[in-house]
A and B are shown apart, each in its own frame.
Chain A
């Protein structure tokens, strides 16, 4: 095929994937999708290989490589007809990442043959299960995490299969919004399918297939060139994941391990030695471990390589079944993809810092750190206007990003594989019986370093529900994000419910859901980013700027950075700073000696 048609098709596929996501966000009912963008879209070739995706949430994309194939194979290619759309969410039956992420998959037919698949995935705020919001890690098994939807056909001839549709939406706690969300995901697959058919009409199905194959080879070629540049060797690392925290449940930290072998243009990630699967929703299905691995490789090499499954061909992943990183039925998994997965990536980055110190980041908040409120709306006017009584609200919180070589970490932002946006305060107050009292950066939370870790944020709510459940799920309440090369750790996750009688209850990172009442105040703060390099090496002027902007307090400037700020708070006391930094360096040297 000529180069031009190839470029047109290849670029066109990415544009289609982006448009599919737009279709979803424009039509969805859940704020987490329409204004948080917690949804993704991708295109697969006829062999179910991922050929294009939007600038979407990475955590949803890598695992789609496995779930799309699983969805199609469960039904059987020979049983698919034009206008069919498959739905699935189950991690064991459909290769999903966790139950709340529901996938719709459409075979795209042209002249009687399947030429591609379009898929959309959206985070449903509720999928049933033990806790409203379906997002507590205190789950005994997968059944406690919501309805299991194996791959089944939800649309035939572009019309919903009504009985099935009802069965599914009635198993969630918000039928209206789920109905909108399914339609939105359907619209995404439909729009994508139409565009691909138009492309096939123009170029022919054979050209389309050949362009897709070339695009995969092209990205593979670029990725192999990048892997070649990583010094050959064996790099080992380990870390600990936090367990669920509820009375009577196991309390030990969960060990994970990796051995990375680089040889020429191939790279092997071997997770053997990681813990057996555990009780509680922190396990990762294999699709999630694959995604964590693939994301890391793409991120430490060249993020501009056109993303598709070809990027992952140089990678081999070894991970024994029945472990926390390749769990089997009936292990529960809800926090695996949101909390465990970024922790695995942080472990990989730290491990790879031995090989490519200039290409890695200090550790980050990692957690999706979600807080979900669920209950009846006491505002009768709003109940009438919005036509709903029960109202659920999810906020994914933004923590600190680790410091990088030559750059500070970014303050309060979704990092690594996650990217759902937090909700607008005015939109929350307009729709939900919550008042947001404040949302601000937390001074001194970023790990000190030559390059400073990103600060975290804290949001403080006053409950306006008469009675509601609150689920919080996070990571790094116990294990702080580490710094690199002498940088210090970032602050840990913290959440508190202050009852209207003044009693304060600490909320653990993976506890059971609580019941809150009108007037209770709830604060949620994810972890912050680790520092990179020795804080004593940070230019005093940068420290002063941080103090003037309130990112760092004068006390911490002195105690961790050795920079003494003058009494007015606007200048550096040079003499005192020099003296203090010298003394601190000597102290360090003595310790080391």
Chain B
């Protein structure tokens, strides 16, 4: 079995090829081609085939993650989209919920109104109405829809989103409207709210559906083009796309529901980490992905990445299951500066990939986190990206001196250290958000760092949060692409219930789940792998507006099941909030079903045992800490063998990154080419 994982990021496209038979792994980075990402991806694909000597026809599987959807939303480059909605409600998309903290700091008088996803002239109303109890108080009129679609086509609309009031309660009108629109729409991408997010609360559902529509034409085109190009290049294996929920889906499914691609890239890394946990028998892990512009934290509990059902992207609310990622603007390229009060601040401005940090020597003059790490000895100037790319340490020093050290009246090293420590504090705060603030103790977790800059800060962060163990995964610089190799196929579906647990009809619940399951299986195609089904429900105390997701007990659903579900909710509610409401009914709002087909496979290359040769450092390195330089040996990661044990202080370096240990800390090389660090006290 040979697999290729491709992760198209904002700057680089990462590619990994794994030969499960021989255990050999190849990897590379090529520049992303934003005007046509297929080019960069195909360039990476053909290059890795060349380097590995594998024929295209021998590849069984290509897993693909992409930021194309995210970038389209952020840059406002989606399709020209229309919205068709119930008479009286075309402005819902613009009115939102009337409040402003979804788009502004509350003390900012000058915030910009977000760009309208659909200009008002393309928001059309049709006469129809479904009431809150599902009664149809007016059906859709075919003639009205025909003329509406004709006008939209004349306006050159590429996509049409349909969202009618109360459609999650009774979808008949919306289904009929969709049918009529699809008959007339020709090439336009048509998507309905009951297909994308059948859940009440009209703004959130409309926005999700509209985002899906704006992404539809280009994402569909991309999925088809990429697949066709891969076929042309001789690939005959299966092609899958990574979804925000950490599961793979076929190009056809993704073309229908591109909204599921919004967290495609980051989901790859978290999924890889979850799979690593499974291999190593780790239940709870925190993951930290530090790239050029951001630091992304996720939580894995009981082996599963934490999911959330709502996310906000560029002020737009999207309700689709995605891996819960806390992202802060502290990456290697984030710029450090001094504010008027004399405080050192980091970001949100980033030097990005171009010009990049000052040490890239491409014209950047402001000091970044990477520049500071370079000056402090945490990044190697000679060996960045395997030596393909030499860093300019003098430029880094100049930037730090001018913008930080001189104004602060300290040495360059001290200024750099202040920046590194503040960056650490910000990142630690994000890690606390993911743990402490949800009632979890970080000391019960291990820390898995990746991304080019992740390992560089990893041991400091673990010390700060008193996390006892850091597990450095294989290929940390390409870990998201690696995730595309190991992920399973997943479909998440939902249905609205809205009933008290003790009054819900168990047969109806069972029937709803059966419907969801049939739909999920259909979306998976004719898989030969066993499909596992998980059933969950969003629950709250009657009257509450927010829900907690609770797993259904195994087995057929009867009155006992519903009672057990309610009890599980009460226990989880108490754990989080320290109070019960005795006698208050538990309300079940949404049913959620997850279908998983096990297609992923973990392999991290062949472990070559040590053959009697001794492990030698490749040289010395020095790191500035607590006011002084400490000399230490420097090891190359590829020289390490499973079972090796080393004591700090030391540095381990590899192509894209570096990790350092203090005196008293130790590392051991574990299975699957992992490095397991026992962390000391802060």
Contact A408 B109 (CB under 8 A): no
- Mark the stretch among A43-51, A184-192, A583-591 that contacts chain B: A184-192
Interchain nearest-CB distance for B200 vs A (Å):
4
- Mark the stretch among B20-28, B274-282, B423-431 that contacts chain A: B423-431
Q: Which residues of A contact B99 (CB under 8 A)?
A: 36-37, 413-414, 419-422
Contact A4 B421 (CB under 8 A): yes
- Mark the stretch among A7-15, A320-328, A481-489 that contacts chain B: A7-15
Please, which residue of chain A has its CB at the minimum distance from the CB of B433?
A15
The answer to whether the Cβ of B353 comes within 8 Å of any Cβ in the partner chain is no
B422: which of A4, A424, A435, A437 is its contact (CB, 8 Å)? A4
**Complex Cα–Cα for A4 and B343 (A):** 11
Contact B544 A180 (CB under 8 A): yes
Contact B200 A426 (CB under 8 A): yes
**Complex Cα–Cα for A410 and B99 (A):** 11
The answer to whether the Cβ of B542 comes within 8 Å of any Cβ in the partner chain is yes
Given contacts A3-B418, A26-B577, A430-B132, are A407 and B202 in contact (CB under 8 A)? no
The answer to whether the Cβ of A548 comes within 8 Å of any Cβ in the partner chain is yes
Given contacts A3-B418, A426-B202, are A419 and B106 in contact (CB under 8 A)? yes
Q: Which residues of B contact A219 (CB under 8 A)?
A: 341
A186: which of B339, B421, B544, B579 is its contact (CB, 8 Å)? B579
Contact A295 B107 (CB under 8 A): yes
Given contacts A179-B581, A424-B202, are A225 and B341 in contact (CB under 8 A)? yes
- Mark the stretch among A136-144, A204-212, A297-305 that contacts chain B: A297-305
Q: Which residues of A contact B503 (CB under 8 A)?
A: 385
Given contacts A222-B340, A424-B203, are A414 and B98 in contact (CB under 8 A)? yes
The answer to whether the Cβ of B585 comes within 8 Å of any Cβ in the partner chain is yes
Contact B425 A424 (CB under 8 A): no
Q: Which residues of A contact B113 (CB under 8 A)?
A: 408, 410-411
The answer to whether the Cβ of B50 comes within 8 Å of any Cβ in the partner chain is no
Interchain nearest-CB distance for A158 vs B (Å):
8
- Mark the stretch among B88-96, B471-479, B616-624, B672-680 that contacts chain A: B88-96
The answer to whether the Cβ of A198 comes within 8 Å of any Cβ in the partner chain is yes
Contact A387 B544 (CB under 8 A): no
Contact B429 A8 (CB under 8 A): yes
Interface string of B87-119 (1 = CB under 8 A from A): 111111011011111000111111111000001
Q: Which residues of A contact B344 (CB under 8 A)?
A: 3
The answer to whether the Cβ of B545 comes within 8 Å of any Cβ in the partner chain is yes
Contact A7 B91 (CB under 8 A): no
The answer to whether the Cβ of A28 comes within 8 Å of any Cβ in the partner chain is yes
Interchain nearest-CB distance for A365 vs B (Å):
11
- Mark the stretch among A234-242, A253-261, A333-341, A396-404 that contacts chain B: A396-404
Contact B546 A55 (CB under 8 A): no
Given contacts A303-B108, A426-B165, are A419 and B95 in contact (CB under 8 A)? no
Q: Secondary structure at chain B's binding surface: helix, strand, loop or mixed?
A: loop
Interface string of A423-455 (1 = CB under 8 A from B): 011110110000111111100000000000000
Contact A8 B132 (CB under 8 A): no
The answer to whether the Cβ of A25 comes within 8 Å of any Cβ in the partner chain is yes
Q: Which residues of A contact B577 (CB under 8 A)?
A: 23, 26-27, 187, 190-191
The answer to whether the Cβ of A376 comes within 8 Å of any Cβ in the partner chain is no
Contact B425 A4 (CB under 8 A): yes
Please, which residue of chain B has its CB at the minimum distance from the CB of A217?
B341
Please, which residue of chain A has its CB at the minimum distance from the CB of B548?
A26
Q: Which residues of B contact A183 (CB under 8 A)?
A: 579, 581
Please, which residue of chain A has its CB at the minimum distance from the CB of B578?
A190
Interchain nearest-CB distance for B349 vs A (Å):
13
Query: In residues 330-388 of chain A, which contact B (Cβ within 8 Å)?
Result: 359-361, 385-387
**Complex Cα–Cα for A412 and B100 (A):** 10
Please, which residue of chain A has its CB at the minimum distance from the CB of B205?
A426
Contact B108 A439 (CB under 8 A): no
**Complex Cα–Cα for A361 and B109 (A):** 7
The answer to whether the Cβ of A31 comes within 8 Å of any Cβ in the partner chain is yes
The answer to whether the Cβ of B590 comes within 8 Å of any Cβ in the partner chain is no
Interface string of A508-551 (1 = CB under 8 A from B): 00000000000000000000000000000000000000001111
Given contacts A25-B546, A26-B577, are A12 and B106 in contact (CB under 8 A)? no
Interchain nearest-CB distance for B173 vs A (Å):
14
Interface string of A127-162 (1 = CB under 8 A from B): 000000000000000000000000000000010000
Interchain nearest-CB distance for B414 vs A (Å):
11
Interchain nearest-CB distance for B336 vs A (Å):
13
The answer to whether the Cβ of B403 comes within 8 Å of any Cβ in the partner chain is no
The answer to whether the Cβ of B437 comes within 8 Å of any Cβ in the partner chain is yes
Interface string of A62-106 (1 = CB under 8 A from B): 000000000000000000000000000000000000000000000
Contact B94 A550 (CB under 8 A): no
Q: Which residues of A contact B202 (CB under 8 A)?
A: 424-426
Given contacts A3-B418, A457-B91, are A435 and B131 in contact (CB under 8 A)? yes
Please, which residue of chain B has its CB at the minimum distance from the CB of A32?
B545
Interface string of A166-179 (1 = CB under 8 A from B): 00000000001101
A25: which of B94, B545, B584 is its contact (CB, 8 Å)? B545
The answer to whether the Cβ of A221 comes within 8 Å of any Cβ in the partner chain is yes
Query: In residues 365-389 of chain B, which contact A (Cβ within 8 Å)?
Result: none
Contact A26 B546 (CB under 8 A): yes
Please, which residue of chain A has its CB at the minimum distance from the CB of B421?
A4
Contact A424 B106 (CB under 8 A): no
Given contacts A26-B544, A218-B343, A439-B92, are A424 and B97 in contact (CB under 8 A)? yes
Query: Which of A4, A23, A222 has the most chain B CB atoms closer than 10 A to its own CB?
Result: A4
The answer to whether the Cβ of B166 comes within 8 Å of any Cβ in the partner chain is yes
Query: Which of A31, A183, A426 has the most chain B CB atoms closer than 10 A to its own CB?
Result: A426
The answer to whether the Cβ of A307 comes within 8 Å of any Cβ in the partner chain is yes
Contact B544 A34 (CB under 8 A): yes
Please, which residue of chain B has its CB at the minimum distance from the CB of A59?
B106
**Complex Cα–Cα for A429 and B200 (A):** 11
Contact A414 B100 (CB under 8 A): yes
Please, which residue of chain A has its CB at the minimum distance from the CB of B102?
A421
The answer to whether the Cβ of B244 comes within 8 Å of any Cβ in the partner chain is no
Contact B498 A180 (CB under 8 A): no
The answer to whether the Cβ of A56 comes within 8 Å of any Cβ in the partner chain is yes
The answer to whether the Cβ of A35 comes within 8 Å of any Cβ in the partner chain is yes
B112: which of A19, A360, A407, A411 is its contact (CB, 8 Å)? A407
The answer to whether the Cβ of A107 comes within 8 Å of any Cβ in the partner chain is no
Q: Which residues of A contact B543 (CB under 8 A)?
A: 29, 176-177, 180, 386
Q: Which residues of A contact B581 (CB under 8 A)?
A: 179-180, 183
Please, which residue of chain A has its CB at the minimum distance from the CB of B344?
A3
27 pairs from A and B in contact (CB 8 Å cutoff): A4-B424, A7-B425, A15-B429, A28-B544, A34-B545, A56-B106, A195-B437, A221-B342, A222-B341, A295-B107, A385-B499, A385-B500, A408-B113, A411-B95, A413-B98, A414-B98, A421-B97, A422-B97, A424-B201, A426-B132, A426-B202, A430-B132, A430-B200, A430-B498, A435-B132, A441-B91, A550-B120
Which residues of A does B touch, CB under 8 Å? 3-4, 7-8, 11-12, 15, 19, 23, 25-29, 31, 34-37, 55-58, 158, 176-177, 179-180, 183, 186-187, 190-191, 195, 198, 218-219, 221-222, 225, 295, 298-300, 303-304, 307, 359-361, 385-387, 396-398, 404, 407-408, 410-415, 419-422, 424-427, 429-430, 435-441, 457, 460, 548-551
Q: Which 10 A-B pairs have the closest CB atoms?
A: A438-B88, A34-B545, A398-B98, A429-B132, A549-B120, A303-B107, A422-B98, A421-B99, A29-B543, A421-B97
Contacts A3-B422, A415-B100, A440-B89 known; 6 new A-B pairs at CB < 8 A: A7-B425, A26-B576, A34-B544, A186-B579, A190-B577, A361-B109
